[in-house]
């Protein structure tokens, strides 16, 4: 009986190995990169830059958020608006609170008029966060430090909010978001949920 079982197990392993071999495919070096050129010559390959074509600001349709509190992508044309420099930031002309509402778009949210960085210091044996000694920095919940003006951390809008190009997806994105708040697909509530679950 033991012998018969061993034969059966052996046969099962043989089937697994043979099907495994059938599935395993080999790829040449021209096929393994997203650029589909030889890895030895890829510096000569120019990626498809795509086209950044979108309706003008005021005529575009906002793009659904990728996930809850994701930075919204820029649905309109940004011709002449980038790069943002110290002396030039066109985004502010239309998106600052008090201006955006009249243009029928969202104003820069409250979270951008704040910093989340604690004032860090140290005493003899402790790290001091916002004037309080802490034993373990992992226990610290995020504290919002509201500011009267736009935080410098948020000045270069395009580091988080990007215009969209026409490129095809090289790898299909199969992620599908779930929004706890039904409005979350078009609006953020970051400060309200900042320490949720902590």
Beta strands in 73-168 (DSSP E): 114-115, 120-122, 127-129, 132-134, 145-146
69 binds ligand HEC (CB under 6 A): yes
Q: Among 18-26, 130-138, 164-172, 183-191, which window interacts with ligand HEC (CB under 6 A)?
A: 183-191
Binding to ligand HEC by CB under 6 A, coded x per residue (else -) over 104-143, reads xxx-xx-xx-------------------------------
60 three-class SS: coil
What part of residues 80-99 is at the interface with ligand HEC (CB under 6 A)? 81-82, 90-95
* Among positions 19, 45, 122, 159, the unique one binding ligand HEC when judged by CB under 6 A: 159
Q: Please count the other Cβ atoms lying within 10 Å of the Cβ belonging to residue 81.
A: 19
Q: Which stretch binds ligand HEC (CB under 6 A): 5-13, 19-27, 126-134, 185-193?
A: 185-193
d(C-alpha 62, C-alpha 71), whole Å? 12
Token duo for residue 111: 């979270």
Q: Measure the CA–CA gap between 178 and 143, rounded to whole angstroms.
A: 26
Structure tokens at 6: 């061993």
Applying CB under 6 A, which residues contact ligand HEC?
Answer: 57-60, 62, 69, 71-72, 74-76, 78, 81-82, 90-95, 103-106, 108-109, 111-112, 150, 154-161, 187-188, 190
């Amino acid at each position: 009986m033991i012998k018969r079982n061993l034969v059966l197990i052996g046969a099962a392993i043989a089937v697994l190995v043979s099907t495994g071999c059938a599935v395993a495919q080999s790829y040449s070096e021209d096929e393994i990169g997203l650029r589909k050129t030889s890895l030895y010559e890829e510096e000569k390959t120019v990626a498809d830059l795509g086209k950044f074509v979108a309706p003008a600001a005021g005529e575009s349709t906002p793009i659904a958020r990728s996930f809850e509190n994701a930075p919204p992508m820029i649905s309109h044309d940004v011709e002449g608006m980038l790069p943002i420099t110290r002396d030039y930031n066109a985004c502010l002309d239309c998106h600052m609170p008090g201006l955006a509402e009249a243009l029928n778009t969202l104003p820069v949210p409250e979270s951008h008029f704040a910093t989340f960085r604690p004032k860090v210091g140290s005493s003899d044996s402790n790290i001091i966060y916002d004037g309080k000694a802490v034993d373990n920095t992992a226990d610290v919940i995020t504290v919002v430090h509201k500011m009267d003006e736009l935080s410098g951390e948020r000045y270069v809008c395009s580091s988080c909010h990007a215009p969209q190009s026409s490129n095809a997806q090289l790898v299909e994105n199969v992620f599908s978001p779930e929004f706890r708040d039904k409005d979350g697909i078009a609006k953020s509530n970051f400060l309200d949920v900042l320490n949720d679950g902590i």
